[in-house]
Amino acid sequence: MKWSEICVHTTNEAIEPISNILHETGASGVVIEDPIDLITEREDKFGELYELNKDEYPEEGVYIKAYLHINSFLGETVDEIKQAVNNLLLYDIDIGRNTITLTEINEEDWATSWKKYYKPVKISKKITIVPTWEDYKPKSPDEIVLELDPGMAFGTGTHPTTVLSIQGIERYIKENDEVIDVGCGSGVLSIASVLLGAGEVSAYDLDDIAVESTKLNAKLNKAEKKISAKQNNLLDNVNKQSDLIVSNILAEIIVRFIKEAWDNLKQDGLFITSGIIQAKKDLVKDQLQQNGFSIIEVNEMEDWVSIVAKKSESCRSTTYGLD
């Protein structure tokens, strides 16, 4: 199979809307190449570290790259992308140079070339994420190795949103907790939960590829007996009483199932959300509180936010004026 890499040379302001356009037109994966990353010093000791090639970055603006199947509809798809990007001008969004280029890429080349940048990364006090092709030995007795084969459909597990999620799970999970993972993707949060002591995990994703990826990675970590991965739309028709719900997806999606999250948590159960951009932090906090949750903590890394909320009947009574 062959893929076409579409590259949009634009501005930082346009990153979010253009990324959304690319996802909506069927792009499988989005890469942001921002020259600021070449000089940024990471404040947090956790996160992904690798050598960046400055020749792949623009001198000004950013590159947004995505990958599309080469088929008979590719031309129409690219035209739709160009039109949608141009339409951003109607909303006073600066799209900069707005030059769009296409490059053909063989699936085999794409599937293997990026692996040289993916190395073992310690993302929390206990957990180190290790790609399956790397030979890695734990540096201390309490270090937990989580093996991951992300394939082409998912990230490496070291994005700030995933790091924040796993750090939250590590802080709050208790032995034999029942966990629900909404939007499981590669299964990294489900596996981390098991490795940190969860008794069982119910993992859901609308994408059947994600479900299969979760099952595969669960087996790699000998966690398949405790993880049940199924195709499902968020928490639709789910009726469980769990100790912890984790979800690393977009803020707009999180607010759609907050009520269902409440219904599927035990009293004093926790809801760990991530994948939230700074601009949507208050939206998620407000919706959580309006549905009865109390905010335990808000954590940030780079431009991303994670919120830990607690199911509290007393808080809900106050919220709805029932006292």
* Binding residue ranges for S-adenosyl-L-methionine: 162, 183, 205, 248
Q: Three-class SS of residue 91?
A: helix
Tokens 């993972």, residue?
Answer: 181
Q: 200, 243 in Cβ contact below 8 A?
A: no
Report angle CA 112, 148, 105 to the nearest 5 degrees: 20
Q: Count CB atoms within 10 A of the CB of residue 298.
A: 14
Q: 201, 194 in Cβ contact below 8 A?
A: yes
| Nearest partner of 74 among 26, 109, 111, judged by Cα | 26
Distance CA 315, CA 271 (A): 15
Q: Three-class SS of residue 122?
A: strand
Looking at residue 42, the DSSP 8-state letter turns out to be P
Distance CA 188, CA 6 (A): 28
Helix residue ranges, H only, the chain: 15-24, 74-86, 107-113, 160-172, 188-195, 208-220, 251-254, 258-263, 281-290, 313-319
Output the CA–CA distances (angstroms, integers) from residue 164 to 3, 21, 100, 121, 186, in the order listed: 32, 26, 33, 14, 16
State the binding site.
Answer: 162, 183, 205, 248
Q: Which amino acid is at 126?
A: K
